Structures are given as C-alpha cells and as structure tokens.
Amino acid sequence: MFTSLRKSDFIGVVSSALCLIHCLATPFLFIAQAHSAHVNEAKPIWWSCLDIIFLVLSFMAIYKTAGSTTKKWVKQLLWFNWALLTFIIVNEKVHWLPLPEAVVYFPSIALIALHIYNSKYCHCDDTECCVNNV
C-alpha cells in the first residue's frame, strides 16, 4: 500500500508540475509565434490538448492518493483544488467568467504541495491503516 501511495503522489507532483510549466510557457509560446508568424494568434491544437491530458493524469493520481491517504483534510483539499483547476481550464476554453491568467497557478501549486506533503507525512505504519480510510 505504501509504495502505491508514493507512486500516486509522485505522478500527482509530476503532472501538476508539468501543468504549471505548460501554463507558464504559454505566453512565451505566443510571443515566439507572434514574431515568427505575424498573423496567426491561434494556439496549436496539440498545445490545447495538453490541458486535458494533465487533468486526466492529475485525476488518476488524486483518485489513487485520496483512497489511501491517512489525512481526511488532504483528500478534501486535493479534490477541491482539482475541481478548481478543472473549472479554470474549462472557463479558459469557453469564457464563462473573465479571470486573470495567473489564477491557474494557485490550484496547480496547491496540488504539488499537497502531493508532496502527503508523500512525506501521510504514511501508513501497517498495511491496514489506509484500507477504507474515512
């Protein structure tokens, strides 16, 4: 159980960190594209698909981590931040609310921090402590 918990936290940290890097790199991609193309402002389709890929990877990592963490508040914060990140990304695509670009960084950083915290402090001392944890 412990190695499974560590793997899901590692996947969560990596996917959240890559998502954060992706969000940070987007403005630089547009600047580089503007200098080279002068006309086309559209994001490449593969770049937009990365959002969904990171959300799916993050969902799987949180699902596994939430099922085996020893801290109920960590589970709740993981799901809250994932839902917030999902809302922000969907909002970015459909333009429900005018939100600043930087708002996406907060749930991404929170997910990274929560996975790191969980991997360090939410350990099971035996194989039974994480099973059906409430």
Place of tokens 């429900």: 96
pLDDT band at residue 126 using 50, 70 and 90 as cut-offs: low
Contact 55, 89 (CB under 8 A): yes
Instruction: Determine the pLDDT at residue 84.
Output: 95
**Whether pLDDT at 130 is above 70:** no
**Distance from C-alpha of 42 to C-alpha of 67, rounded to nearest angstrom:** 40
Residue percentage of the chain with pLDDT more than 90 = 19
pLDDT band at residue 9 using 50, 70 and 90 as cut-offs: confident
Question: Which one of 16-20, 75-79, 128-132 scores highest in mean pLDDT?
Answer: 75-79
* DSSP letters for 67-126: HH-S-HHHHHHHHHHHHHHHHHHHHHHH-SS---GGGGHHHHHHHHHHHHHHHHH---SS
pLDDT band at residue 102 using 50, 70 and 90 as cut-offs: confident
More confident residue, 125 or 91: 91
**Whether pLDDT at 82 is above 90:** yes
**Distance from C-alpha of 68 to C-alpha of 124, rounded to nearest angstrom:** 9
Instruction: Determine the pLDDT at residue 2.
Output: 45
More confident residue, 47 or 116: 116
Residue 21, both tokens? 């890097």
Number of residues in the chain: 134
Query: Mean pLDDT, to the nearest integer, of 49-60?
Result: 85
